Amino acid sequence: MNAKTKIGIIICDRYRRCAGGKCFRAMKNKAGAFSVYTDTELELVGYTSCDGCPGGNIEYAGEEMVKNGAEVIHLATGLVVGYPPCPHIESFHAFIEARFNVKVVVGTHPIPQKYLDTHTTLGTWSDTKWEPLVAPTMSDAAARLDYN
């Protein structure tokens, strides 16, 4: 490994009881949105929820994560695959980057196949605005099934 990258993860408050299993497994295995970190060790410096719509914890969580050394903040896959997907994800992304001068990535673990099937049937992600939001976690079919 050449370096260490410190990351924070913000999850949707609907999943506030989530223990982070899929996110942490993907982080360890460099799967989904973590696949870009090929030559770096990852260190988690913060994990919390947005605190519910409209994201009352986004400002505090981002600040705390950056104080703890976060270089990248991931908005968890649950913000995209939940139904309905987070209506604030684009503003969270823009706010965190602008306010804290830190890179923000949408996604953590690969999108589970069952969610891809449902959102495809519903046409949820048919608008082109979703392409960059789902791309980091789309992964291949085997990975999607592994995270079902």
pTM of the model: 0.95
Instruction: Give the list of residues 6+ apart from residue 21 with CB closer than 8 angstroms, or none.
Output: none
pLDDT band at 98 (very low <50, low <70, confident <90, very high): very high
The matching CATH number, chosen from 3.30.1360, 3.40.50, 3.30.720, 3.90.550, for 3-146 is 3.40.50
pLDDT over 70 at 2, yes or no: no
Going by C-alpha positions, the residue among 103, 53, 108 that lies closest to residue 78 is 108
pLDDT, tens digit (0-9, with 9 covering 90-100), for 22-31: 999 999 999 9
Q: Please say whether the beta carbons of 110 and 146 come within 8 A.
A: yes
Residue ranges of domains in the chain: 3-146
Gap between the Cα atoms of 26 and 112, Å rounded? 12
pLDDT, tens digit (0-9, with 9 covering 90-100), for 49-96: 999 999 999 999 999 999 999 999 999 999 999 999 999 999 999 999
